Structure 1
Amino acid sequence: MIDLSALRSLLAVHQHGSVVAAAHALGYTPSAVSQQVKRLERQQGRPLLERVGRGVVLTDVGRLLAERGSAVLDELESLSNLGRDGSRPQGPFHLATFATANRGLVAPLLARLAVEAPELRVTVVEADPRDVVLQVARGTADAGLVHDWESVHLEIPPGVDAALLLTDRADLVVHRDHPLAARTSVTPRDLVQEQWVCTPAGSICHDWLVAMFAGHALRPELRYIDHEYASHLALAAAGVAVALVPRMGRGPLPPEVVTVPVVDPVPERRVQLVWRRATTDHPARRLLHDLLVDVVG
């Protein structure tokens, strides 16, 4: 019989492209993933990985096993939900999300869930959207809220579904005495000389800001790095930086700042709910989706 843990490791290598990336996604060490794949190779009596340069790729047999194994694991997860009471969502439910969704969507969602599904114990963990997708794909989160931008798309792996909830826009935030404060709109060319505060490198919002300027062959001066948009607003209020801040979950603005629309391109992001396809009919996931649609509306 096929070792299901070893099969999950092979699938992770197939999805993430390397043993190291698979280990990170699964929360294992690279050595543990390698050992599990070797155990699967012994069971199959054939090699499943082959070395190419410094990396590895799946052999033809490995790819076939990964593709068919993915469907088997999805079916097993679906079967595990058959005994649940479809009318009463209950038990633990792990939601992964990003910061502004926590403020703009999750807070009102939790208030609704407390009334409509009091036996459902929801835990919420914040992460960058790329990490949220990984948590959902590997089963450490039951569902996730993610966002991506027009030129910085989020990769949704096989076996994970997504539903669009809303399109959010970001605005330039500047001190009210800034020369651009009275403008009806600005473009990246108007902003190239500014000192910026932005999220850390590797985050999807940082990548979008860089891509926005790259479309004009420009490079912004990223002077200040901070995870929190509240800090971005504080620096703009102090007059030492400008920021690009999404509208969803933004909250009241300091009186010292104003917002200016950005065009060419317009900074818009898609906010989506993601979940494993095998849990599509899970009663808690369905209720979560329905209430999120109501909150957005």
Structure 2
Amino acid sequence: MVGCVDKQTSGPGEEEVVIPEISKSDKLLPGNKISVLTTAMEFQMPDTIPSGWNTFIYKNASPEVHFMIFEKMPEGITIKEYKEELIPPFEEGMAYALEGNIEKSQQAFKNIPKWWFNVTVGGGTGFISPGKTALTTFKLEPGRYIVECYVRMANGKPHAMMGMLKEVIVSDAVSKISEPKNPDSEIAVSSEDGFEIIKPLNSGNNILKVNFKDQKVYENLLGHDLNLIKMEDGAAVQDLSDWLDATDPKALTTPSPEGFMFLGGVNDLPSGAVGYFEVTLQPGNYVLISEVPGAYEKGLMKKFTVK
């Protein structure tokens, strides 16, 4: 859970793709629409949702950056076991890591229950800034899930330990909608080739398809995802990359780096899966980035400009 990586010595994502302005009418991702609201440190959302394709409309009405990820629990594991068996050793390990006591941190993490390593991720939104709404569509299998946000408070405490932890049942009843068709843009993501822009993003309203060609566990014990972020002039993309590197126990903490507006994306999905998200792009500079250590070196960071 802890570690460090060398600073990038060259400017990350310096290649620039200039995108022409294209007018589009507003549209909404199709499907069973599930509203999710955060006003402080909570997920206000249904306790039970259908399996299959669903569009999550996640409004971040809080003053913090958040996201949501679905974690599918092994048979017999509920939020009770999650809170009683997983959180205490994780919280202890993080506390030691923040103190710089790596030996005690690693000892604490050894008490993480074995069932945790059978948890599978099922998708979610990318990071979303205060006052913004993320629209993400992905397919869920039936089962018991924990939805969480692990962005950290200034003291290093994850939001999940402050209330952003919710049990959701994905039922056998299947959503009546099918996979979205005719996306405006498409990007493939893999551990081998990084981000591959198959069909570029345009100015205006976009529905972006994200194709997970493969998936792997990186040094931060997470897989790759895709986040779309708007950059202000002069914003240091290295600060963003460092903030997203969870191998550093001080990463992902409030406040998020200055000069970046998080617009959502698609969180970790299994190999071969696809997800979609809707976003409106105004003229400006943007970056696509995955929440992995050394994203630039892995090809999982790309800057582009909308004219």
**Greater RCO (CA < 8 Å, at least 6 residues apart):** 2
Query: If each structure's strand is expressed as a fraction of its own residues, which one has the higher value?
Result: 2
Please indicate, yes or no, whether the TM-score normalized by the shorter chain is above 0.5. Answer: no
User: Higher helix share goes to which structure?
Assistant: 1
* TM-score, normalised relative to structure 2: 0.20
